[in-house]
Amino acid sequence: MNQTTAVSVLTALLVVLAGCTGGISEDGPSTDASVDTQTDHVDGSDGTVRFYVSDERNAIGDFAHLNVTITKVGLKPTTRDETNATETANGTANGTATEADDSAPEEGWREFDVDERTVDLTRLQGANSTSLGELNVSGGSYGSVFIYVSSVNGTLENGEEVRVKLPSDKLQLHKGFTLGNGEAVDFVFDVSVFEAGKSGKYILKPVIDQSGTGEEVEIVDVDAEDDEPTDRGSDASGKSDTGENGSSTNETGRTNETTTEAALIASSSDSWSSVGG
């Protein structure tokens, strides 16, 4: 993929706050340090990132409201060794999900403000999304993505207000993508709300196996749809049609539990089209 020509690169990142239990890892990627490996693998050309937030069901069914306020998103360019490891993964699952360590160094991160956007994860079902904003980024390879969360406020179906734990003020995902010459890419950052056993306590965590490029996910922008029914069996309120077991099937044939999503989108571009469009 040619990354030497200075071009406008459009990338759409989908941040998915979702409820899938598999693939969570507390360990970051292992890399060998050397003088060459510490060079950020970006080419300096500017591009645009359109950022989405979404939530797929786990314990979200327990909530009448689950308000999450996001203040910033961040991208970390890969080193040369990290890029080579990604390219030679030979089709295996790539990346790990972590709860961010506030004491960890932040050198090399590109951070972007998103104006303290609050989304109620219970209101947006299925593939539905709502816009956060547009990011201008440099073309190249990125190995990690994070979101800063300033507050999480939950109200259960019975009216009880509960604390949803966020281990730190941000959630970090070690899974990469590349901005190529004139290429458009969607990326999904999947975060789940879990109940800790039967304790009645809840926690937000990133999920690796539901995160990745937009070729693997579907995006329905509810702002653009203007509250019209979605393509995935949703009614005008944005809630998916479900069976007796609380499951729904998306257009890609993947069967999910009832899903909740909020997504961030920015201005349109002739070089970008939504997944499935």
Amino acid at 188: V
pLDDT by residue (tens digit) across 123-159?
765 565 666 666 777 888 988 888 899 999 999 999 9
Of the chain, the end-to-end C-alpha distance in Å amounts to 24
Tokens of 16: 């998915």
Q: What string of DSSP letters covers 59-127?
A: SGGGEEEEEEEEEEEEEEEPPHHHHHHHHTSTTS---EEEEPPTTS--TT-EEEEEEEEEEETTS-BTT
CA–chain centroid gap for 188, Å, is 4
Task: Write down the residue that tokens 């440099």 correspond to.
Answer: 138
Q: Are 256 and 248 in contact (CB under 8 A)?
A: yes
Q: What pLDDT band is residue 122 in, cutting at 50, 70 and 90?
A: confident
Cα gap 68→70, rounded to integer Å: 6
Whole-model pTM over 0.85: no
Q: What pLDDT band is residue 225 in, cutting at 50, 70 and 90?
A: low
When mean pLDDT is compared over 2-16, 110-124, 216-230, 251-265, the highest value belongs to 110-124
The pLDDT value given to residue 130: 64
The pLDDT value given to residue 218: 66
Looking at per-residue confidence, does 205 or 223 come out higher? 205
Looking at per-residue confidence, does 95 or 46 come out higher? 46
Q: Are 23 and 56 in contact (CB under 8 A)?
A: no
The pLDDT value given to residue 156: 94
